[in-house]
Amino acid sequence: MFAALGLLGGVRKRLHLVFVGILLAVGVGFVVYVSILRHERDSARTELALCQARYAVTLANVRRSNAVVQTLRHETQAQQAAVLSAREQATYAATKSAKAVRSIAATPVSSSCQAAIAWGANEAAELAKGWKHGP
């Protein structure tokens, strides 16, 4: 009977060693798994920092582009106002010159040379005043 107990003691030792081996393998596996998780965490943090830097650059570019667009809008409005003003001045000049031409064409010209020259000089001076003063 004592011999049987001796055998059981050997089996127990083996089971004990197997159990310790299993625990050791689980512990090593756990350590490896934790180190993998830490590496993934660190990689994710690095990628997050890169993404944040790219976002900051993109945001700065968008703000710079928006400022350029705003400047172009203001310049466009100024150009449109200048075009409108030029159009008004051209319309005024065309109307004034058409009126002056009709007036000159309707005015009888003297048949004497000296009177015709004086009349032409006077009309030219009046026409020039209209061009200088504008609307």
Question: Which pLDDT tens digit goes with each residue over 57-86?
Answer: 999 999 999 999 999 999 999 999 999 999
Which range, of 6-15, 67-76, 92-101, averages the lowest pLDDT? 6-15
- pTM for the whole thing? 0.49
Between residues 6 and 61, the one the model is more confident about: 61
Question: 């934790």: which residue's tokens?
Answer: 34
Q: What is the pLDDT of residue 25?
A: 92
CA distance 100 to 82: 26
Q: Rg for the chain (alpha carbons), in Å?
A: 50
